């Protein structure tokens, strides 16, 4: 424990000496920034975001409209589930939720069917489905 404290004190003295002896504070700040970045890179695991994004399969029919509808369905469901004391309001919110859910399901089916049909009608040598449509 004393060794660790002595090491920290020596580091603190070294840094204060470097700062006091420096002619240009900007270079000291840049060196400190570089040292911190190097320490972070060596101690933290860096996750490559591009690999994660490419590992997911894309859903071509998931449009912005479907995303908004899905969020509305989830909001309506939460409202319905959180209404406990008033049975009339709970029934009303249940109907709103079910109507929104039905609308979302219909839009989802339509978009997925349209996307699949578009994919299948692409004329390409590598697309085996083009002959079906």
Residue 127 phi, psi (nearest 5)? -95, 105
Q: What is the pLDDT of residues 91-130, one digit of tens each?
A: 999 999 999 999 999 999 999 898 888 877 776 666 666 5
Q: What is the pLDDT of residues 47-73, one digit of tens each?
A: 665 555 445 556 777 888 899 999 999
Longest dimension (CA), the chain: 79
Mean pLDDT of the chain: 81
Q: Which residue has the higher pLDDT, 54 or 38?
A: 38
Q: Which residue has the higher pLDDT, 92 or 46?
A: 92
Burial letters 31-55, b for 16+ CB under 10 A, else e: eeeeeeeeeeeeeeeeeeeeeeeee
CB atoms under 10 Å from CB of 110, counted, come to 12
Please count the helices (runs of H) and the strands (runs of E) in the chain. 5, 0
The single-letter DSSP state of residue 131 is: G
pTM, 2 dp: 0.51
The single-letter DSSP state of residue 63 is: -
């Amino acid at each position: 424990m004393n060794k660790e404290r002595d090491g920290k004190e020596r580091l603190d003295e070294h840094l204060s000496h470097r700062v006091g002896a420096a002619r240009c504070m900007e270079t000291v700040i840049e060196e400190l920034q570089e040292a911190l970045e190097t320490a972070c890179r060596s101690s933290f695991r860096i996750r490559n975001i591009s690999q994660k994004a490419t590992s997911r399969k894309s859903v071509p029919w998931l449009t912005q409209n479907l995303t908004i509808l899905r969020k509305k369905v989830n909001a309506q469901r939460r409202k319905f589930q959180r209404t406990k004391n008033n049975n009339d309001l709970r029934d009303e919110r249940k109907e709103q939720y079910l109507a929104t859910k039905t609308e979302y399901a219909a839009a989802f089916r339509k978009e997925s069917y349209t996307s699949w049909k578009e994919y299948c009608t692409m004329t390409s040598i590598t697309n085996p489905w083009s002959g079906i449509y």
